[in-house]
Amino acid sequence: MDVTVGNSRVSGTARAPPSKSYTHRALLAAGYAGGALVRNPLVSADTKATARAVDHFGGDAERVQADWEITGFGGAPDVPADVIDCANSGTTMRLVSGAAALADGTTVLTGDRSLRSRPQGPLLDAIADLGGSARSTRGNGQAPLIVDGPIEGGHVEMPGDVSSQFVTSLLMAGALTDEGVEIELTTELKSAPYVDITLDVLESFGVTAEERENGYRVPGGQTYEPADGEYAVPGDFSSASYLLAAGALAGGEEVVVEGAHPSEQGDAAIVDVLRQMGADVEWRQDDGEIVVGRSDLDGITVGVADTPDLLPTIAVLGAAAEGTTTITDAEHVRYKETDRVSAMAEELAKLGAAVEERQDELVVHGGDSDLSGARVDGRGDHRIVMALSVAALVADGETTIEGGEHVDVSFPDFFDALGDLGAAVER
Q: Which parts are annotated binding residues for phosphoenolpyruvate? A: 20, 90, 118, 165, 340, 383
The rounded distance, in Å, linking the Cα atoms of 140 and 14 is 43
C-alpha to C-alpha distances, 116 to 84, 119, 138, 191, 334, nearest whole angstrom: 13, 8, 10, 21, 15
Q: DSSP 3-state assignment of 85?
A: strand
User: Where is 180: in which H helix or E strand?
Assistant: none
The rounded distance, in Å, linking the Cα atoms of 167 and 196 is 11
Instruction: Name the pairing type of β-strands 133-136 and 67-71.
Output: unpaired
The rounded distance, in Å, linking the Cα atoms of 314 and 310 is 6
The rounded distance, in Å, linking the Cα atoms of 277 and 270 is 11
Q: 115 near 45, Cβ under 8 Å?
A: no
Q: 231 near 220, Cβ under 8 Å?
A: no
Active site residue 309: yes
Annotated binding residues, written as ranges, equal 20-21, 25, 90, 118, 163-165, 191, 309, 336, 340, 383
**Smallest Cα–Cα separation from 248: which of 276, 218, 212, 281?**
281
End-to-end CA distance of the chain: 7
Give the up-direction half-sphere exposure of residue 112: CA atoms within 13 A in the CB hemisphere: 12
Annotated binding residues for 3-phosphoshikimate, written as ranges, equal 20-21, 25, 163-165, 191, 309, 336
Cβ neighbours of 367 (radius 10 Å): 12
Residue 113 burial by Cβ neighbours in a 10 Å radius (0-12, 13-18, 19+):
exposed
Cα–chain center distance at 229: 26
The rounded distance, in Å, linking the Cα atoms of 245 and 131 is 47
Q: 254 near 10, Cβ under 8 Å?
A: no
**Smallest Cα–Cα separation from 255: which of 10, 9, 7?**
10
Among residues 67, 148, 309, 329, the one annotated as catalytic is: 309
The rounded distance, in Å, linking the Cα atoms of 26 and 122 is 24
**Smallest Cα–Cα separation from 110: which of 191, 52, 43?**
52
Cα–chain center distance at 28: 16
- Residues 6 or more apart from 64 whose CB is under 8 A from it? 37
Active site residues: 309
